[in-house]
Structure 1
């Protein structure tokens, strides 16, 4: 508790620089990363992150000093150059964009390593700490660095705020944006520039190796929590800001722990939790939904089976044993027992001395399922020209998910039919 209070009080200036810098860098990268992910340009961020290293080294070789503004300019130029080369290769050769990205990434990073090795053997005393750009060193941020990188981070946030609607339209429907007269090419160039800047300002914190994680991971995690872009941007920025502050706290309490890798690790943990537990889109939520649908299908299949048995005898209220039901509809015994107990609880079937039978409510529900099945079979044969002996399996699946609106549309399209392709009667709506 005392350590946390000491961190929050931030009596040490360097702690303030590291924390504020980490939060600004992480949040601004996440905001720009949302548009990068939506435009399916995630790999471009990785290429730019590796391509800035030769720019940093060249800026140092030409000036002989580690002025953050000069290093920022050098890394920005090579980052932009990498994008121009990727676009040129993709447009003027048979090489696809992903291959071009891999080529540019490896070549630029290799050149950067060569420059960095040359600098290390040059004897220049100012080279100390330059290798931190490989893996980042947020703890090395000083006041001048904070002013430079903080100004760029704020510029990114302001640009996204002012052009939010244009960037949103560009991400989802560039063709429509072009139709209404927006300068699509100019907006693409601006968004690409912001992506390069986001990468450039982040390398001081996490380095060129991990920077793509800062750009992409929070956006990918936020995408699982919402379908709205505004909420996605806020969630991604909040996640990154929290991880930036937490990474700085870990470095403060355990000086041997580097800030940048901790930020990325925390982001990865949040992303993993999002992938697993996010509502509607998380793995757990999808599993539970699939499980619920499978149970619903099993229950509706039992109702349909009892209805078919009633069609054969003409007595829908007649009782049938589990053996008779299982002979008509094969399914695991434990699943059948569970489904029948649930149907009984909902008063859709009843159990009598001779077996199981449909209640009046169960008969109506069974008619609905059978009706959807036979309407779909008729639609497949009449409009898609599928042979009548090939439509049953497809109808077995679709009958459980057709909505009342689609049912009405099918009935109108088929001119209120009374029989399916096999001349079985289509139950009418009660």
Structure 2
């Protein structure tokens, strides 16, 4: 526990602090880019890009290893991974644009082919007499614990550049995600914007190879935005919240991995992101499971109480136990089921409101469809006094006609 506290407070060591900051910046950038990718409904593309990095990574290792005797040179490996990912991205676009196959089929074909080729190259590398083979497998699932300070600084610098690019392009990207046709009418080149978004995604994947690995980096582009979606409807708030949740996941994952030697940092980062998603899924005040259950209970009780009051006014028998319990709790009926004075008044008010809502539905049928739970909420909380007065006048006119 003491070791974890030192890691949390950045007092465990220089390298650990630099790695933690680098992972946080990367995860924040991944959350921001992932938000736009999620809103654009292209989340699976990140999976294809991540798996497409493996053959380029392996080829770069072979070239550098044969040239220098040690293939573990991070800039060259990232460059090779980026080139391979770009080729995979081009293949997905070409297949989906020039054939009858959908994007999901193109992603499946590119993902499996590139990854299989990468596995073959890694097998070849294991038989080579160069240094660094043992560290290459860390790019599959991440190897943050063995990261050098220079590598962490490079990742942090790239992540900062990625964050700056997202902040500069956020308005155009949001317009692309929500209404591509309108974006075209505003003079935006949507095809180029799509390409820029995918290039940003590719940058996240390539930079994250060292932190979480090509298999797990996809989680950082999907889980934080999905978790953020539970808390807000505002797109820019969602972008900011996804960045914060991603940074928190990176912070918790790296610090937890420092507690004991051998703990997988990339996996712990992803598990931390999943815990944040689970908290959002369960406890979000708007879309969380708990909030939905409480809202359902409130709606159910409101319906039963309303129907019970209407039954009292119409002198109809009430058999439902929950309705009877709610009426007793509110003091509207006695234990023997007889209405109290307060119950009679509340029942007449409920009947009157029901008639007003009936007039409203007949007069404004289209608007009534968009009124959530119309008739269950007191009418003065939904409509203005002038609107209620107009309904009262029309209701009086109906009574005069009946007479």
Which TM-score tier does this pair reach, normalised by the shorter chain? 0.7 to 0.9
Aligned to 1:356: 339
SS of the equivalent of 1:355 reads coil
TM-score normalised by L of structure 2: 0.84
Taking only aligned residues, the RMSD between alpha carbons, in angstroms, comes to: 3.3
The structure 2 residue matched to 1:102, chosen from 83, 103, 108, is: 108
Deviation at 1:261, TM superposition (A): 0.6
Matching residue of 2:255: 249
The number of residue pairs the alignment matches comes to 385
Distance 1:130 1:26 in 2: 22
Equivalent residues in 2 for 1:170-319 (5 A)?
A: 170-307=176-313, 309=314
Post-superposition Cα deviations, 1:206-236, rounded to whole Å, max 9, x if no partner, equal 1111111111111111111112233222322
Query: Superposed, which structure 2 residues align to 1:362-373 within 5 Å?
Result: 362-373=347-358
Aligned position for 2:130 = 124
Query: Which piece of structure 1 moves more, 192-201 or 14-23?
Result: 14-23
For the 8 Å contact 1:368–1:427, the answer to whether it is kept is no
CA contact (8 A) 1:17 1:141 kept: no
Q: Is the 8 A contact 2:35 2:238 kept in 1?
A: yes
Give the secondary structure class of the aligned counterpart of 1:205. Answer: coil
Kept in 2, the 8 Å contact 1:33–1:195? The answer is yes
Q: Deviations over 1:361-410 (max 9, x none)?
A: 43122222244357647988xx9xxxxxxxxxxxxx86547984599999
5+ residue gaps, structure 1? 310-319, 384-396, 420-424
User: What is the CA distance between 1:6 and its match in structure 2?
Assistant: 4.1
Question: Where in structure 2 are the equivalents of 1:126-145 lying within 5 Å?
Answer: 126-145=132-151
Q: Is the 1:21–1:141 Cα contact (8 Å) retained in structure 2?
A: no
Give the whole-Å Cα distance in 2 for the aligned partners of 1:353 and 1:139. Answer: 72
Correspondent of 2:75 among 61, 69, 72: 69
Do the aligned residues in 1 keep the contact of 2:328 with 2:334 (CA within 8 Å)? Answer: no
**Structure 2: how far apart are the matches of 1:427 and 1:37?**
58
Q: Indicate how the Cα distance of structure 1 residues 364 and 57 shifts in structure 2: closer, same or farther if over 3 A, else same.
A: same
Instruction: Please tell me whether the aligned partners of residues 10 and 17 of structure 2 are also in contact (alpha carbons under 8 angstroms).
Output: no
Alpha carbons of structure 1 residues 350 and 191: separation in structure 2 relative to 1, 3 Å: same
TM-aligned CA distance change 1:352 to 1:298, over 3 Å: closer
**Residues 360 and 146 of structure 1: is their aligned pair in 2 closer, same or farther, counting only changes over 3 Å?**
same
CA-to-partner distance for each residue in 1:122-172, whole Å, 9 max, x for gaps?
233332311111111111211331232222111110111122222222222
TM-score (norm 1): 0.79
Aligned partners of 2:23 and 2:251 also within 8 Å = yes
What is residue 325 of structure 1 aligned with on the other side? 317
**Cα–Cα, structure 1 residues 277 and 242, in superposed 2: closer, same or farther, change >3 Å?**
same
> What is the CA distance between 1:83 and its match in structure 2?
2.1
| 2:22 and 2:155 in contact (8 A); partners too | yes
Higher relative contact order (CA 8 A, sep 6+): 2
Look up the match of 2:370: none
Q: Distance in 2 between matches of 1:359 and 1:112?
A: 78
1:301-339 CA distance string (max 9 Å, x none): 1222233x2xxxxxxxxxx5xxx423xxxx632x12222
Contact 1:42–1:216, Cα closer than 8 Å, also in 2: yes
- Give the whole-Å Cα distance in 2 for the aligned partners of 1:102 and 1:285: 37
